Every structure is written in structure tokens, then in C-alpha cells.
């Protein structure tokens, strides 16, 4: 049996989609269902059961992991909003809950793979290396990143990184992110605007190092992300923290241009002021150091950024059924 927390969410549902393609449907989906429409991500997928996160915690307390012979717990559930300011909520949701599941999995002999975040790297002044000896040097720019950093440090200090895997996801985009509101990728946000008005909007730059739209991120397609995630599920000897990205930074301008190409619409980009809440907390540059995961044996090249965007727009967003199936 496999458990995926955050299983109705973006990366979680994509992971289940990939597991289905591999012939696995013995999956327990765990999530916190609210009034958004992320449940739609689950409709085309195959799984054994679905549980609320609070119910799951109670079941884990009562021996669920051993009783159902869970082999791998992919803990992808979290509040991923970079504008969330309620640190108490983030501590309960992202830190304490992860500690609880990690400890429970360890006691039950269950493989535990969890979502960390590239947000832990902050402005990048200390680099983007997933070398665990440098974890304490990182300085996240927002509360979300800090909540992820707290668990990474706790796992290291308590010896768990010798038996679990933490994945630092960079800027993930692709099908099944539709419910994420402001946390959707700029490709997703721009699609309807381009379709309706013929132009896209990007943040102005507030750094002399980057022109408007020239801020650069390591954008990684969700299909590549789930391939890397499952690699660790299939190789239980691998432990520690690993970056999940492409190893190449692309500008927002270059990220958005293939949308116009896929829609056969001339390129037109307008730039607007960044909200005050983001200024000073915005990552102008991210680029994953992928040497560690390659050394661990994962050598599948990432999808080219233009090809990934075109696949997303042409085969999902611009179709009646946008979901992975």
C-alpha cells in the first residue's frame, strides 16, 4: 500500500497519475478538503481510499501504517502559500504534522518521502546546494519557506535524514494546478488573459541585475517532478535531502513566450507593479544544483522548458478536459 498526503493537490495528484500509469492503484489519498475544486484532480485517477488529514492522523495513532502494510508514505501535503503570514498555522500544518508522520513512519518501518521546498534557499546568497551540512546557513525569505526549513533542520538534528528523503521542489508547473489560486504558475495565470486580450502580464523587476520579466527561476515540469519523486520510492537505500529541478534557470519572459506559440498568438507582454507584501521577499533567481541527484543515479534529462509549456497548453489547458488521466 502507498499513502500520498496532499494527494488531491497539484504534485500529489500528478504522482498518483504516474503511479497509475505504472500499474499501481493500491493508494490511500490523504488531503484537507475545503471549498476549492482540487477534488477534480482525483476524478480520473484510481486509488483504494481517500481520507481527511485529521482522520488519517487518528488512524496513524491507532496503528494504520502497520495494519495496512504501508510501504511508502509520500508526504506532499502542506500549505504552500508564500504569502501566508500566520506562522502558528504554518507550524501546525507544515512542521508539527510532518514531524508526527515522520516519527510514525520511522517506528513502523515505512519509507518516508516528504516535500521540502526551494523557498528554503531564500535569496540564494548561500547557494542552491542540497548539501545537508549547509542547511543551517539558509535564510528563507517568507514564513512558508521557514516552516519547511524548520523541519529540514529538525530531521537532520534528530538523525532522520539517514532514513528518510526530503525533496526540495523548485518552481513546479503543469496540469492539475488549477485550484491553486495565486500560487498557480505564470503559464496557468496567463493563459486566459492571452486568450481573451492577447497579452500576458509579468512583475516589474526591482533589482538592477534583472530587466522587467528577466528574473530567472528553475521552472520544472510536474511530469519530471513525479519521475524524480518515484525514483526515491523505488530506491530505498537513498536517503537525505535532494533538489528537484532542472539545473537551468530561465527568465519569466522566456517561460511565457511558448504560451503564445502554442496558442498561435503574437507575443505581447506588459509589466506591472509587484504587491508590497512580496517586495523584499521575492526570489529573483533560483537554479537547482542537480549534482547530488545525478550522483544518486537519476540521469533522465528534464523536459525542455519550451516543449513542457507547449505540452501543458496544447494538451491540457487548451482542451475540454484539462486534467491528468
pLDDT of residue 93: 87
pLDDT of residue 277: 73
Active site includes 144?
yes
CATH match for 2-174+219-248+284-303 among 3.40.50.720, 3.40.50.620, 3.40.930.10, 3.40.1160.10: 3.40.50.720
pLDDT of residue 220: 98
Sign of CA dihedral 77, 82, 83, 88: positive
pLDDT of residue 278: 75
pLDDT of residue 227: 98
pLDDT of residue 82: 79
Which of the following is catalytic: 114, 121, 128, 144? 144
DSSP 123-163: TSTT-S---GGGGGG---SSHHHHHHHHHHHHHHHTTGGGT
pLDDT, tens digit only, all 325 positions of the chain: 999 999 999 999 999 999 999 999 999 999 998 878 999 999 999 999 999 999 999 999 999 999 999 999 999 999 877 778 889 999 998 999 999 999 999 999 999 999 999 999 998 989 999 999 999 999 998 999 999 999 999 999 999 999 999 999 999 999 999 999 888 999 999 999 999 999 999 999 988 899 999 999 999 999 999 999 999 999 999 999 999 999 999 999 999 999 999 999 999 999 999 888 777 767 889 999 999 999 999 999 999 999 999 999 999 999 999 999 9
pLDDT of residue 32: 93
How would you classify the pairing of strands 2-5 and 72-75? parallel
**Does residue 271 contact residue 189 with C-beta atoms inside 8 Å?**
no
Helix axes 53-61, 97-108, angle to 10 degrees: 40
Helix then strand count (H, E) for the chain reads: 11, 13
Which of the following is catalytic: 180, 248, 261, 292? 180
pLDDT of residue 139: 95
Active site includes 146?
no
Amino acid at each position: 500500500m502507498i499513502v500520498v498526503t496532499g494527494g488531491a493537490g497539484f504534485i500529489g495528484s500528478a504522482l498518483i497519475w504516474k503511479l497509475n500509469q505504472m500499474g499501481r492503484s493500491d493508494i490511500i489519498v490523504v488531503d484537507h478538503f475545503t471549498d476549492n475544486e482540487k477534488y477534480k484532480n482525483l476524478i480520473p485517477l484510481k486509488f483504494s481510499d481517500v481520507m481527511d488529514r485529521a482522520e488519517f492522523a487518528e488512524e496513524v495513532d491507532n496503528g494504520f501504517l502497520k495494519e495496512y502494510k504501508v510501504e511508502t508514505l509520500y508526504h506532499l501535503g502542506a500549505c504552500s502559500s508564500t504569502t501566508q503570514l500566520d506562522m502558528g498555522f504554518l507550524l501546525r500544518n507544515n512542521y508539527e504534522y510532518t514531524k508526527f508522520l515522520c516519527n510514525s513512519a520511522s517506528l513502523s518501518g515505512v519509507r518516508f518521502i516528504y516535500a521540502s521546498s526551494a523557498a528554503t534557499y531564500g535569496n540564494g546568497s548561500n547557494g542552491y546546494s542540497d548539501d545537508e551540512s549547509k542547511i543551517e546557513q539558509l535564510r528563507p525569505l517568507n514564513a512558508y519557506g521557514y516552516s519547511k526549513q524548520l523541519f529540514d533542520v529538525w530531521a537532520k538534528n534528530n538523525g532522520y535524514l539517514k532514513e528518510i528523503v526530503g525533496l526540495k521542489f523548485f518552481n513546479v508547473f503543469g496540469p492539475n494546478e488549477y485550484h491553486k489560486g495565486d500560487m498557480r504558475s505564470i503559464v496557468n495565470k496567463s493563459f486566459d488573459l492571452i486568450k481573451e486580450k492577447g497579452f500576458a502580464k509579468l512583475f516589474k523587476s526591482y533589482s538592477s541585475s534583472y530587466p522587467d520579466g528577466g528574473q530567472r527561476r528553475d521552472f520544472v515540469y510536474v511530469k519530471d517532478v513525479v519521475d524524480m519523486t518515484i525514483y526515491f520510492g523505488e530506491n530505498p537505500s537513498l536517503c537525505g535531502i535532494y533538489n528537484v529541478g532542472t539545473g537551468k534557470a530561465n527568465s519569466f519572459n522566456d517561460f511565457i513566450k511558448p504560451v503564445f506559440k502554442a496558442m498561435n498568438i503574437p507575443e505581447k507582454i506588459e509589466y506591472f507593479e509587484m504587491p508590497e507584501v512580496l517586495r523584499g521577499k521575492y526570489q529573483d533567481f533560483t537554479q537547482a544544483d542537480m549534482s547530488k541527484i545525478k550522483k544518486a543515479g537519476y540521469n533522465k534529462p528534464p523536459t525542455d522548458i519550451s516543449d513542457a509549456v507547449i505540452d501543458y497548453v496544447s494538451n491540457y489547458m487548451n482542451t475540454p478536459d484539462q486534467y491528468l488521466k
